[in-house]
Amino acid sequence: MPHPHPHPAPTGTAGDERGAIELRGIWKWFGDPSAPVLREISFRIPAGSFVSVIGASGCGKSTMLRMMGDLAQPSRGEVLTGGHPVSQARQAHEIGFVFQAANLCAWRSVRRNVELPLEAMKVGRAERRERALAELDRVGLAAAVNQYPAELSGGMAQRVAIARSLVTEPPIVLMDEPFGALDEITRDRLNLDLHEL
Ligand SMILES: Nc1ncnc2c1ncn2[C@@H]1O[C@H](COP(=O)(O)OP(=O)(O)OP(=O)(O)O)[C@@H](O)[C@H]1O
Ligand SMILES: [Mg+2]
């Protein structure tokens, strides 16, 4: 069973419920209700926290994360963000995702991949460009903005995926083993960079 350890931010996020996320009595089963993957999971993550979920393969981490992002529905129980159902937050583009595979659009440049969520939010062209470039600079990819996904290393592609998830400044970012497919040295470095970000 995954057991989260929230580390509340040192500075005042109290009162800002936007980034808080709460699981209430979550159960999940696939097919057979007598063999649930998750049973009775309840916890609350305060806004401004950085939380890692650790557990053996197959224990239900991805399943839980998907429900926290409204990508799957609990069999029983509910997920709330800022006191509202998590579906509202997802529809309002308030949740960023990063998965094990970068899932970039091969025909779009690095910059235009990062602009994609801003396009979905109808942000104007000049602002899109400016925000995508600023985000790519933050993840150390200023020199690669005009490259295409096929020209990137695995670590660079994951950085693009992270920039894409952060460019809308969502109050919640969910990451499922974002560096799991990379070699150990790159993974360690990106994990450190992620804390900086
Ligand atoms: N769509 C599905 N249909 C049926 N069973 C599923 C489905 N998704 C997940 N499961 C089962 O739920 C259990 C938990 O899977 P999950 O992917 O959440 O594990 P995990 O903790 O993320 O593992 P890993 O560390 O290997 O990524 C597994 O037994 C898996 O087979
Ligand atoms: Mg998983």
Q: Are 121 and 55 in contact (CB under 8 A)?
A: no
Both 100 and 77 in one domain: the answer is no
Looking at residue 3, what is its pLDDT?
52
Return d(Cα 193, Cα 197) in angstroms, integer: 6
- The whole-model pTM stands at 0.86
Which range marks the domain in which residue 158 is found? 93-197
Looking at residue 124, what is its pLDDT?
97
Both 154 and 187 in one domain: the answer is yes
Both 3 and 66 in one domain: the answer is yes
Both 11 and 85 in one domain: the answer is yes
Cα-Cα end-to-end distance for the chain:
28
Q: Which of 53, 59, 65, 174 to mutate to test the pocket of ligand 1 (most atoms within 8 A of CB)?
A: 59
Average pLDDT for consecutive 10-residue bins of the chain (197 residues)? 48 59 97 96 94 94 96 97 93 91 96 96 96 94 97 94 94 92 86 84
Q: Please give the structure tokens belonging to residue 42.
A: 């309840």
User: For ligand 1, atom 25, which residue shows the shortest CA distance?
Assistant: 57
Both 77 and 124 in one domain: the answer is no
Both 44 and 118 in one domain: the answer is no
Q: Are 3 and 60 in contact (CB under 8 A)?
A: no
Give distance in angstroms: CA of 57 to centre of ligand 1.
Answer: 8
Q: Are 1 and 60 in contact (CB under 8 A)?
A: yes
Both 16 and 77 in one domain: the answer is yes
- The total of other beta-carbon atoms located within 10 Å of residue 55's CB is 12
User: For ligand 1, atom 7, which residue shows the shortest CA distance?
Assistant: 30
Give distance in angstroms: CA of 63 to centre of ligand 1.
Answer: 6
Both 113 and 136 in one domain: the answer is yes
Looking at residue 15, what is its pLDDT?
42
Both 80 and 108 in one domain: the answer is no
CATH number (domain holding residue 69)? 3.40.50.300
User: For residue 60, which atom of ligand 1 is closest to its CA?
Assistant: 18
Looking at residue 197, what is its pLDDT?
82
User: For residue 64, which atom of ligand 1 is closest to its CA?
Assistant: 18
Domain count, the chain: 2
